[in-house]
């Protein structure tokens, strides 16, 4: 990538050449049956990152493939330094061993049924996490440049301040990121309904615009087929309370976070981008789900535009909460990473707000943590498309 891409700090070099912003020992429970025992093990190794996503057995088709893909995506994520995968039985463990063999970082698998007792299972998992933590100390470091970053763009608790402060601030940062050779992904298909003119104007080619518009059309067809008035669902009740009246109004406020770049592709849920640049990802609108899709596709960090407070974040990638609502900043200031309320009175320019976001990224590289990380906030949730057996 471009040698002129600004360096923002020191990251963690992975075997595939990608650079991590974090070096997590991930403790992944791969079936709901082992969520609790995994959590108990992490109690003893609190530096490990717990992912216990309540995965079910009996899921079918695309849903089953997505669970498999997610294991692979987590193990190969740039922010994953090492991984402990916990499962229930030997056969599932064999499948996991195959899935993790080529992940290029230390991994261990613990099988609950093969542990000979609950306490023993916790002990085995704790020792595995400790071994992985020790091995991970040798992860090589490398400069992290904007060009190395894939950034997930999200908004939640949207209100009028999101449209005037946080989203435009993110849009200006994204302009810098893309110009430097970086990658950004925006999602939440329902929130793009009504943005057709923007999609046409900001796609690299007509076929890319068509691919994105096809996602929007499918979403609208689904809503029509239900015969339900979705006002109150999206915009949500909290959006309405905050002053947003219609979905298109919410859309237009959200869309400005893509900045002035053009879309270079349209991705399915959790699909990895094939190049740098701005991508659209087809996802449900619930933030923990859409963030899960973008982070599983390899995003190392999330920029989260917030109107009223919202605790969403996919924990594998730090979530930078950016807010311009003076009331939220007054009540929830301790949870906000970048304050852009100065944009309202013109005290702060969009360029200054974008620099504040870059500065926050540099601080995260230097070891500071986001408020969501401090709270252990965030969720990994996969969408379900078919009833389970």
Partner 1 sequence: MKQTTQTIGERISLTVDPNDNVATLLDSAETLRRAAGMDISPAIPFGHKFALIPIPRGAQIIKYGVIIGTATADIAAGEHVHVHNIA
Binding site for partner 1 (CB under 8 A): 159-161, 163-164, 168, 171, 194, 197-198, 231, 240, 242-243, 245-246, 248-249, 252-253, 255-256, 307, 325-327, 344-346
> CB-wise, 62 or 231, nearer to partner 1?
231
> CB-wise, 117 or 232, nearer to partner 1?
232
> CB-wise, 101 or 349, nearer to partner 1?
349
> CB-wise, 65 or 246, nearer to partner 1?
246
> Least distance from C-beta 333 to partner 1, angstroms?
16
> CB-wise, 177 or 382, nearer to partner 1?
177
> Least distance from C-beta 201 to partner 1, angstroms?
9
Find how far residue 253's CA is from the centre of its chain: 20
> Least distance from C-beta 198 to partner 1, angstroms?
7
- Comparing CA positions, the residue from 144, 109, 104 lying closest to residue 22 is 144
Angstrom distance (rounded) from CA 338 to CA 320: 7
> Least distance from C-beta 111 to partner 1, angstroms?
52
> CB-wise, 99 or 256, nearer to partner 1?
256
> Least distance from C-beta 218 to partner 1, angstroms?
22
Strand-strand pairing, 338-339 and 319-323: parallel
> CB-wise, 54 or 200, nearer to partner 1?
200
- CA-angle at 120, arms to 118 and 126, nearest 5°: 105
> Least distance from C-beta 346 to partner 1, angstroms?
6
> Least distance from C-beta 321 to partner 1, angstroms?
18
- CA-angle at 106, arms to 100 and 111, nearest 5°: 60
Angstrom distance (rounded) from CA 11 to CA 78: 10
């Amino acid at each position: 990538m471009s040698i002129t891409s600004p360096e923002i700090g020191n990251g963690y070099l992975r075997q595939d050449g990608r650079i991590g912003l974090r070096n997590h020992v991930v403790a992944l429970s791969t079936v709901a049956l082992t969520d609790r025992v995994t959590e108990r093990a992490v109690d003893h190794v609190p530096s490990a990152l717990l992912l216990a996503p309540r995965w079910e057995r009996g899921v079918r088709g695309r849903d089953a493939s997505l669970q498999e893909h997610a294991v692979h995506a987590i193990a190969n994520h740039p922010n994953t330094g090492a991984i402990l995968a916990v499962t229930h039985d030997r056969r599932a463990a064999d499948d996991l061993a195959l899935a993790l063999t080529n992940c290029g970082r230390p991994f261990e698998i613990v099988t609950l049924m093969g542990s000979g007792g609950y306490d023993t299972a916790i002990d085995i998992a704790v020792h595995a996490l400790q071994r992985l933590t020790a091995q991970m100390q040798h992860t090589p470091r490398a400069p992290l440049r904007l060009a190395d970053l894939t950034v997930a763009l999200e908004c939640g608790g949207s209100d009028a301040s999101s449209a005037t402060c946080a989203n435009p601030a993110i849009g200006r940062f994204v302009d810098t990121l893309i110009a430097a050779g970086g990658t950004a992904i925006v999602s939440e298909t329902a929130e793009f309904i009504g943005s057709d003119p923007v999609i046409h104007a900001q796609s690299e080619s007509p076929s890319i615009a068509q691919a994105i518009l096809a996602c929007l059309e499918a979403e609208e067809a689904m809503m029509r087929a239900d015969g339900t008035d979705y006002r109150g669902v999206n915009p949500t009740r909290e959006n309405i309370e905050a002053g947003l009246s219609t979905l298109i109004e919410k859309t237009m406020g959200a869309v400005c976070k893509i900045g002035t770049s053009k879309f270079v592709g349209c991705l399915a849920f959790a699909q990895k981008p094939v190049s740098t640049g701005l991508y659209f990802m087809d996802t449900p609108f619930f933030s923990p789900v859409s963030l899960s899709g973008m982070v599983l596709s390899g995003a190392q960090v999330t920029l989260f535009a917030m109107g009223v407070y919202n605790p969403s974040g996919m924990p594998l990638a730090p979530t930078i909460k950016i807010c311009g609502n003076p009331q939220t900043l007054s009540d929830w200031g301790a949870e906000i990473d970048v304050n852009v309320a100065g944009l309202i009175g013109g005290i702060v320019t969009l360029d200054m707000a974008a620099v504040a976001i870059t500065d926050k990224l540099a601080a995260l590289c230097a070891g500071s943590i986001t408020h969501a990380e401090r709270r252990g906030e965030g969720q990994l949730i996969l969408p379900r498309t078919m009833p389970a057996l």
